[in-house]
Structures are given as structure tokens and as C-alpha cells.
Amino acid sequence: MKDAPIQQAAEALYQARRERSPIARVSETFGIDGLEAAYAVAATNTGRALREGRVISGKKIGLTSKAVQAQLGVDQPDFGVLFADMEFLSGAAIPSDSLIQPKAEGEVAFVIGRDLDDEAMTWGRFLRAIEFALPAIEIVDSAIQDWKITLVDTVADNASCGLYVLGTDPKRVTDLALADCAMCFTRNAEPASEGNGAACLGHPLHAAWWLARTMAMMGEPLRAGEVVLSGALGPMFKIGSGDALHLEIEGLGQVRCHLD
């Protein structure tokens, strides 16, 4: 990989988010080709964020729909980094002027209870590390014009991370049937998206397990207290200033917010 295009793409994405002004695909403008280069762009901006004093709060998983994977020609999800200043709790007013072109997804969030740095990430060790599950609204937001993204562009843009809103009534995963849970997501009291847990790689825990193994292999394991957004349970939809959002996931609870 050539370092200059990666640095240039990272700078362009950084400025696009800072100025709230979308840009053309970095894959084309800077010749970013392939996932290795795309993750290098994202990592460059993560490093910059940490130097600026931002704090990592967890990870998000994208591309958990088999249909979307087939559409983009990939066979696994992608991931992005969550920061503490992205986090809101149910009932919050979301500052819409901090976003570019937001959309919303309903998801299951997991809270990690112990470091997942095992060399052999077995299913049992992974399950022991999941402390709680929560309903979550992910507000995804792309810095690429009109959301005309390729896989490389969304990965480079930190998996199109925007903000996230967590429920406040945590549940133990042993008490839930997450693959079967139905999701109902409304915007201004009108249905906006429906789905269920099986839409997320067949089971939200499957997505989180993939992430745990991937991060451990990369030498950046999930840590106790981090949040994992496991992926959408139904289609995402556009949102804007003044919208009131209400998500309910069967057995898991509710989370709501509104955009100022």
C-alpha cells in the first residue's frame, strides 16, 4: 500500500465530517483499492481521534445482512470504531446539526463484561464475556455524497458511523431468544422498519462472535465495558431534524430519541 493516498483519503474524510459536507468516493478520488487499504484509512482517523482526546467506547458491525453482502460481493461483515461522544441514552435529544445525511437502524447492543483477548476464542469463552444486551438505535451517517458508497468507501469512512442511542434496561442474554425477537421501529409514530434477530447473520450473537474473534486476531481485543452494536435487524431509513424515533425489540425492551 502507498502511504500518501491513504493519508489523503483520511484527511478528506476527516474534513468532510468536520465541515458536515459530503465528498465523492475516496475509492475513486484517491485510488483506495481493497479492504486492507480501506481499514488503513479508517485506522488513520481513529489514531487522530485518540490524539485529539476522544475515547473509544466500543465497536459497530456492519454488513450483517446476507442479501447486502451478496450485493457488495463480500462474505463477511465489516466493523467500525465507536467513541464515547457518539453515545446517547434513551430519551435523548440528538443534535441533527452534528450529522451529514443520517439514517437509522434498529439493533441489539451487547456490553462486554471481560476482556476478550483469548488466543482461542471459543463460543463458550465468548458467551461468558457478554454481560448484558440492550436495544439500540444506530444513527448511521456517510461522508460520501448521496450514500453512493462501495464496500471500500464505507470501511474507510469508519463503517459509516454516526451516533448511537442505548436503552437503559439491560437484560441477560440467557433470558432472551434473540434470533426470534421481532423488531418494530417507528418514525413520528409511523412504521419505518421491521425485522427480527435472524436478519443479523442469523443471530446477533453470531455477529458479535465474529467481531470478537476478528479483533483478537488483529491484536485489538474487545475490552470489558465496551459496547458492541451487532448489526441491523431490518432496513435502515432516512431521518432528519424534528423526527421522533421509537424502537421496540421483543423481549429486550424499548429505546427512543428525537432529533433537534
Is residue 236 situated within a structural domain? yes
Model confidence, pTM: 0.95
Is residue 74 situated within a structural domain? yes
Is residue 42 situated within a structural domain? no
Is residue 22 situated within a structural domain? no
Is residue 173 situated within a structural domain? yes
We report the CATH number of the domain holding residue 236 as 3.90.850.10
Does residue 161 contact residue 82 with C-beta atoms inside 8 Å?
yes
- Give residue 119's pLDDT: 77
- Give residue 159's pLDDT: 95
The segments of the chain whose pLDDT lies below 50 read none
User: How many Å apart are CA 195 and CA 249, to the nearest integer?
Assistant: 9
Cell numbers linked to 166: 442505548
Is residue 48 situated within a structural domain? no
> Distance between alpha carbon 93 and the CA centroid of its chain, in Å?
20
- Give residue 66's pLDDT: 76
Question: For residue 213, what are the domain limits?
Answer: 56-259
C-alpha angle with apex 2: 45 to 83, nearest 5 degrees? 10
- Give residue 2's pLDDT: 67
Is residue 202 situated within a structural domain? yes
User: How many Å apart are CA 207 and CA 158, to the nearest integer?
Assistant: 17
Q: Tally the domains of the chain.
A: 1
- Give residue 222's pLDDT: 97
- Give residue 72's pLDDT: 67
Three-state secondary structure call for residue 146: helix
Is residue 194 situated within a structural domain? yes
- Give residue 74's pLDDT: 72
- Give residue 81's pLDDT: 98
Q: Which helix (H) or strand (E) holds 37?
A: helix 35-51
- Give residue 65's pLDDT: 81
Q: Which amino acid type is present at position 133?
A: A
Q: What is the DSSP letter of 234?
A: S
